[in-house]
């Protein structure tokens, strides 16, 4: 028994020593191999980062940059890998910061200017958008408080023709919720200092750029600054200056119309049909002038609208023209188009090309024809065409208009 016990103890000791040797030699080598494999999977690359915050327009110097090593799989695509390549990105001149860069942020080509460039608005324009500049003043430019990155509405103030000695103005919203890209030459998104502006550059799509081009020629544009985060688009109607004229208490009077003294017996002449015996002989009736001024125009319009719509339908019934009512057709190419009997009621045709278009018996009630090209267009039988619409458009001697309208003096021969 003693021999067996001694042998067992001896074997245990040998096995223990063997395990200790394995732990001391084999396992450390495996750990090193695992670490080496991990090092291969996480190769590091050199990336140039900012050593301190840099703002829009700063010229980059070597002191503002430093080189760091980061895992290759997390390095930004296109990042500079040495300081010299950053400093030579502008053909030997110092590149310029186009967007604010924070400390320890990698330097990317899109964030600095290219060869010979300076801070560019083009880098800020969104996909499918354009930069369009409008003239403003310290008043129409919101006192200089509209800064790059803010959002504004664009308002047009224009004079209507036929106002006589008293100006007849109308104000309309042209665009809503438009982003300001730059004010004068300042396109810094981090800018916080208001300044008296002379121009404002707005980010718009192509049709809106066309609208601004026409609107700038029609009158004066101004900006209305929106609250931060406000994105609502509201339905508006044009506001005329007669809203602000007239005395207190009563309905607004048209501009330039004065009340006669009551002692003077002021009256107007109303011509009515003589209904006695079913005849149609005109009959004159005197009525106080203020009765006309107190008429509710909106109520009359609501009563007349169904009748005008039905009359238009009957007049166009045999033509089967397209229904283009309330459409945004601003800047569209409609030259030589067959629009006979078309319903263009309430549509925006700002700056549209309608030269040589056939608009006979087209319903143009409320259509916006400002800046539209009507050269050679056939409008003689157009429905509900007004002098104001004709005056706001462009035409020539070939343009035919209804006989009761005057040919504008600015139309070409």
Q: Could you tell me the domains of the chain?
A: 45-111 (3.90.1210.10), 125-256+281-295 (no CATH), 296-413 (2.160.20.80)
Give yes or no for residue 326 having a pLDDT over 80: yes
Alpha-carbon distance of 58 to 50, in angstroms, equals 12
192: confidence class by pLDDT, cuts 50, 70, 90: low
49: confidence class by pLDDT, cuts 50, 70, 90: very high
Q: pLDDT by residue (tens digit) across 92-140?
A: 667 888 778 899 999 888 788 765 444 567 767 778 899 999 998 888 8
pLDDT of residue 297: 64
pLDDT of residue 203: 93
pLDDT of residue 271: 45
Alpha-carbon distance of 214 to 100, in angstroms, equals 36
> Which region among 64-73, 258-267, 376-385 has the lowest average model confidence (pLDDT)?
258-267
pLDDT of residue 247: 41
> Which of the two residues, 315 and 57, has the higher pLDDT score?
315
Give yes or no for residue 400 having a pLDDT over 90: yes
48: confidence class by pLDDT, cuts 50, 70, 90: very high
Give yes or no for residue 190 having a pLDDT over 70: no
> Which of the two residues, 244 and 409, has the higher pLDDT score?
409
Own/partner pairs for 308-316, CB < 8 Å, 24+ apart? 308/365, 308/384, 312/343, 312/345, 312/363, 312/365, 312/383, 312/384, 315/361, 315/383, 316/341, 316/343, 316/361, 316/362, 316/363, 316/383
Taking 3-state DSSP, the helix, strand and coil percentages for the chain, each rounded to the nearest 5, stand at 25, 25, 50
Alpha-carbon distance of 356 to 401, in angstroms, equals 13
pLDDT (mean) for 334-354: 90
Alpha-carbon distance of 120 to 175, in angstroms, equals 24
Alpha-carbon distance of 128 to 208, in angstroms, equals 12
Helices and strands of the chain, counted as H and E runs? 6, 10
Unique residue bearing structure tokens 């810094």:
188
pLDDT (mean) for 321-347: 89
pLDDT of residue 125: 79
> CA dist 220 to 47, 54, 90, 182, Å?
51, 39, 41, 20
N-terminal to C-terminal alpha carbon distance within the chain: 135
> CA dist 366 to 1, 142, 238, 363, Å?
121, 31, 12, 9
Q: Does pTM surpass 0.75?
A: no
Give yes or no for residue 346 having a pLDDT over 80: yes
pLDDT of residue 377: 94
> Which region among 30-39, 87-96, 190-199 has the lowest average model confidence (pLDDT)?
30-39
pLDDT of residue 114: 67
* Average of per-residue pLDDT values in the chain: 77
pLDDT of residue 259: 39
pLDDT of residue 242: 60
> Which of the two residues, 305 and 66, has the higher pLDDT score?
66
The token duo for 201 is 């550059």
The token duo for 403 is 């006989």
Of 370, 298, 364, 375, residue with least CA distance to 336: 375
pLDDT of residue 342: 92
Share of the chain above pLDDT 70, in %: 72
CA atoms within 13 A on the CB side of 388: 15
Share of the chain above pLDDT 90, in %: 22
Give yes or no for residue 185 having a pLDDT over 60: yes
Q: Are 146 and 196 in contact (CB under 8 A)?
A: no
pLDDT (mean) for 352-360: 92
pLDDT of residue 254: 41
Q: Are 371 and 389 in contact (CB under 8 A)?
A: no
pLDDT (mean) for 187-198: 63
Give yes or no for residue 167 having a pLDDT over 90: no
Alpha-helix runs per DSSP H in 110-193: none
Question: Who contacts 404 (Cβ-Cβ below 8 Å, separation ≥6)?
Answer: none
Alpha-carbon distance of 98 to 110, in angstroms, equals 8
Unique residue bearing structure tokens 């040919």:
407
Q: Are 254 and 242 in contact (CB under 8 A)?
A: yes
H or E, element range at 8: helix 2-41
Give yes or no for residue 269 having a pLDDT over 50: no
């Amino acid at each position: 028994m003693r021999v067996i016990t001694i042998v067992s103890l001896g074997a245990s000791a040998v096995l223990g020593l063997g395990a200790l040797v394995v732990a001391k030699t084999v396992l450390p080598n495996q750990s090193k191999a695992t670490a080496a494999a991990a090092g291969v999977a996480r190769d590091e690359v050199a990336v140039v980062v900012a050593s301190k915050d840099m703002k829009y327009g700063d010229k980059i110097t070597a002191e503002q940059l430093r080189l760091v090593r980061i895992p290759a799989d997390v390095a930004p695509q296109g990042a500079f890998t040495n300081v010299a390549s950053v400093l030579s990105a502008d053909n030997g001149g110092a590149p310029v910061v186009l967007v604010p860069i924070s400390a320890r942020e990698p330097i990317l080509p899109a964030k600095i200017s290219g060869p010979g460039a300076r801070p560019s608005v083009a880098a800020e324009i969104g996909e499918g958008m354009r930069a369009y500049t409008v003239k403003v003043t310290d008043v129409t430019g919101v006192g200089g408080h509209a800064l790059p990155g803010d959002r504004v509405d664009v308002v047009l103030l224009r004079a209507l023709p036929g106002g006589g000695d008293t100006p007849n103005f109308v104000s309309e919203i042209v665009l809503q919720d438009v982003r300001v890209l730059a004010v004068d030459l300042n396109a810094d998104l981090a800018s916080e200092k208001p300044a008296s502006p002379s121009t404002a550059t707005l980010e718009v799509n192509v049709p809106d750029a066309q609208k601004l081009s026409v609107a700038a020629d029609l009158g004066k544009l101004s900006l209305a600054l929106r609250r931060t985060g406000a994105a609502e688009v509201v339905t508006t109607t044009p506001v005329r200056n007669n809203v602000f004229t007239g005395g207190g208490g009563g309905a607004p009077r048209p501009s330039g119309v004065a009340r006669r003294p009551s002692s003077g017996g002021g009256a107007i002449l109303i011509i009515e049909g003589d209904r006695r015996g079913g005849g149609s002989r005109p009959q004159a009736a005197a009525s106080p002038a203020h009765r006309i001024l107190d008429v509710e125009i909106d109520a009359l319009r609501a009563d007349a609208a169904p009748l005008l719509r039905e009359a238009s339908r009957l007049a166009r019934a045999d033509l089967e023209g397209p229904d283009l009512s309330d459409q945004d057709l601003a800047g569209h190419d409609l030259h030589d188009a067959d629009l006979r009997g078309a319903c263009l009621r309430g549509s925006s045709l700002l700056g549209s090309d309608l030269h040589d278009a056939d608009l006979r018996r087209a319903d143009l009630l409320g259509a916006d024809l400002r800046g539209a090209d009507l050269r050679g267009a056939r409008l003689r039988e157009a429905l509900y065409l007004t002098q104001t619409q004709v005056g706001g458009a462009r035409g020539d001697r070939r343009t035919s208009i209804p006989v009761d309208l005057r040919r504008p003096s600015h139309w070409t021969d």
